[in-house]
Amino acid sequence: MFINRDTNGEGVLKVGTTLIRVSTVMGILYNKCNYCSMNVENTELKRYTLTLEEIQKSVDEGIKNGIRVFHLSSGENCEFSDGLLLDMVEYIYEKGCKIILVIGKRKYSLLKKLYEKGVSVFISKFETSNPWLYSEYNNKNGSHDLRVEYLRKLREIGYKIGTGNIVGLPFQRDSTLYEDLKLLCKLHSEQASTSRFISNPYSKYSKYETSYGKSSEKLNWDAIVSKKGETRVEHIKRHTVQNNSRETHSVFNGNPIDMVNDAWEQRHLVEPISDGMGGTIYNIPYKNAGYESGYINTGAQMDYITIVTLDESTDLITAFPSFGDYHK
């Protein structure tokens, strides 16, 4: 579901049924994020920028195959001009398609123009709610407060926003994750995405092993977000990727996810744990929810579904597969 260039420079298009991802700029950026293999200091990564003609060609091919939503992503790259971005968006919108942008930080004036040209959704993940960790992860480039303010400006313009965190990063604690959930509540984002940190040999954190231990060669990671009183659960799915790959994408799926609903109904069978900040944690064995232990769309051994409910002033419930480190 994305287009990129292979090692020979040829465009490769993978087509799905509802959404296509176009990687307009791959790896060309100025950031030095310690957890990311696309770090500007990684000299091994093959980097490229698609031309407007290449983008238009991939859009036409997608439309021919029934695609009507285009997810345009790039590194934070100032060389990708405002004019090219506007031309690209205008071309797609005139074809009667929807557009999702993941292009990092851009000028407010450009963001307004892109919205007026037809972009409806903008994704910018805050990664962590902890200002010190944000500075550490991003190699002291930018600030957490400015990232959150950027999301608020996107909302002010009119965008639907997608954001979220990374789980398993070095120096992260349980309390950090709960603060991440609370920030998600405050931002009222239309998409909430949780990514799993996977150590990459070309990143600054190549020596770190996550709190989940070693993962299998391939991984599926599911983050599930639901609201109290609703049976439908939004499902954001990380497709199977190699551990050293950053080529992932998110797909929204409106189908009911019975696993979470079944687990929620069984919460009275387990002893709740206070998170010390107004929230409650329920660790529910898969077998209690009627599922086999250690196998729900992942490549790692698991035994629990963890449900975290926040304070009574919010209606957000987050449930995610657990690897053992949340079980005190």
Burial of 308 (0-12, 13-18, 19+ CB in 10 A): buried
Let me know: does 90 contact 115? Beta carbons within 8 Å.
no
pLDDT, residue 268, reads: 74
Give the tens place of pLDDT for each residue, 69-85.
888 887 776 666 788 88
Closest CA to 101 of 82, 80, 119: 119
Strands (E), the chain: 2-5, 11-13, 19-26, 48-49, 69-74, 98-102, 121-123, 160-167, 191-196, 218-227, 234-242, 252-253, 273-274, 280-285, 304-309, 316-322
Let me know: does 236 contact 193? Beta carbons within 8 Å.
yes
Does residue 102 have a pLDDT over 60?
A: yes
- Give the number of other CB atoms < 10 A from CB of residue 213: 12
**∠ CA 95-97-100, rounded to 5°:** 135
Residue type, 220: N
**Is the pLDDT higher at 187 or at 36?**
187
Does residue 235 have a pLDDT over 70?
A: no
Residue 299's pLDDT band, with cuts at 50, 70 and 90, is: very low
Q: Which of 59-73, 100-114, 126-140, 281-295 has the lowest mean pLDDT?
A: 281-295
pLDDT, residue 259, reads: 55
Does residue 280 have a pLDDT over 80?
A: no
**Mean pLDDT score, 35-54:** 77
Q: Which of 117-121, 225-229, 269-273 has the lowest mean pLDDT?
A: 225-229
**∠ CA 281-286-292, rounded to 5°:** 165
Q: Which of 90-94, 142-146, 233-237 has the lowest mean pLDDT?
A: 233-237
pLDDT, residue 115, reads: 95
pLDDT, residue 21, reads: 44
**Mean pLDDT score, 9-33:** 48
Does residue 307 have a pLDDT over 70?
A: no
The two three-digit tokens of residue 94, written as one number: 């005139």
Half-sphere exposure of residue 16: CA atoms within 13 angstroms, side-chain side: 16
pLDDT, residue 198, reads: 75
Average pLDDT across the chain, whole number: 66
What proportion of the chain, given as a percentage, has pLDDT over 90? 12
Give the tens place of pLDDT for each residue, 165-224.
888 888 887 778 888 888 888 888 888 777 778 777 777 777 766 544 333 333 333 333
Does residue 25 have a pLDDT over 80?
A: no
Q: Which of 29-38, 91-100, 135-144, 235-244 has the lowest mean pLDDT?
A: 235-244
Let me know: does 223 contact 250? Beta carbons within 8 Å.
no
d(CA 40, CA 147): 20
pLDDT, residue 309, reads: 60
pLDDT, residue 151, reads: 94
d(CA 255, CA 235): 8
Residue 304's pLDDT band, with cuts at 50, 70 and 90, is: low
d(CA 278, CA 167): 21
Task: Considering the domain delimited by 21-196, tell me its CATH architecture.
Answer: Alpha-Beta Barrel (3.20)
Give the tens place of pLDDT for each residue, 132-145.
888 888 776 778 88
Give start-end residues of each CATH 3.20.20.70 domain in the chain.
21-196
Residue type, 18: T
